[in-house]
Amino acid sequence: MDMELRHLRCLVAIVETGSFTDAAIELGVSQAAVSRTLLSLEEILGVRLLHRTSRSVTPTATGVRVLARARQLLAEADDLVAEATTGHTRLRIGHAWSAMGRHTAEFQRRWAVLHPDIELRLIRTNSATGGLAEGICDLAVARAAFDERRFASAVVGRERRYCALAADDPWAKRRSLGLEEVRARTILIDRRTGTTTAGLWPDGARPTVEYTQDIDDWLALIATGRSIGITPQSTVSQYRRHGIVFRPLRDAPPIAVRLIWPRHDPHPATDAAVTLLTELYQPPR
């Protein structure tokens, strides 16, 4: 016999109401059905879950553990149903780091005003597509390469590149840096989601690189002063951190910021998100 959600709902109802009679009323079934369902659950698990007396019903030690897990599973099931039934009343935008940079808060505020019937959720996922390939989001902010055969995209803006340095680095006193001079240092590159590659420099004049796979590790290593990093302006806005300073790279090409989405069955609010974010990235007149 397989365990079903009705078994777990029955157990939770009995404990929360304190009696089989009240549980039956809450579940809209007979008291006999509640008794049979609980007995079935105990047979499936091979353990006794409740102490029953004429005056009270309390969980056994095993019942306490099963009850906690039952509540968790029921909550997850309810979330799954809500996710499926809300349809397009929710828009999930993924990102690997930095979201929309300095425009993040304003994007959230304007979206709530312009589209109050569509809940916006920003989701950080440490993948090249910000969780889009994994099915975690409907759209994603992308600054690195992605599979253009699988995903459609729109450029919403461009961001200047910055050099990330330890605060006590001699270069921290500089106002800006150049690509030619930074190639003499060890460049830390986020292999999984980063925007920097050795291709920024010509063949034969490329720097020594080391790799990491997470923005937090990247920042922690840079703070030691052993290496430096190159990153978009959005990182400067979203990851200000003690021990790290950012200086603009005056001759580095800017990074294109894109919204990407599945080529098949895009979210109906895709165009609205592209339009709003493009407006925010437009330079002030």
Taking the C-alpha atoms of residue 98 and residue 195, their distance in angstroms, rounded to an integer, is 12
Residues in the chain predicted with pLDDT less than 50, given as ranges, are none
Q: What is the pLDDT of residue 178?
A: 95
Q: What is the pLDDT of residue 2?
A: 85
- DSSP element (H, E) containing 226: none
Helical ranges in 47-119 per DSSP H: 61-86, 104-114
Q: What is the pLDDT of residue 34?
A: 94
Q: What is the pLDDT of residue 80?
A: 79
Average pLDDT, the chain: 92
- Pseudo-torsion of CA 78, 81, 85, 89, nearest 10°? 50
Identify any residues that bridge with 41 across adjacent strands, giving them in sequence order. none
Exposure letters 108-146 (e unless 16+ CB within 10 A, then b): eebbeeebeebebebbbbebbbbbbbeebbbbbbbbbeb
Residue 105, token pair as written in the block:
């808060």
119-124 and 151-159 beta bridge pairing? unpaired
161-166 and 228-232 beta bridge pairing? antiparallel
Neighbours of 220 (CB within 10 A): 14
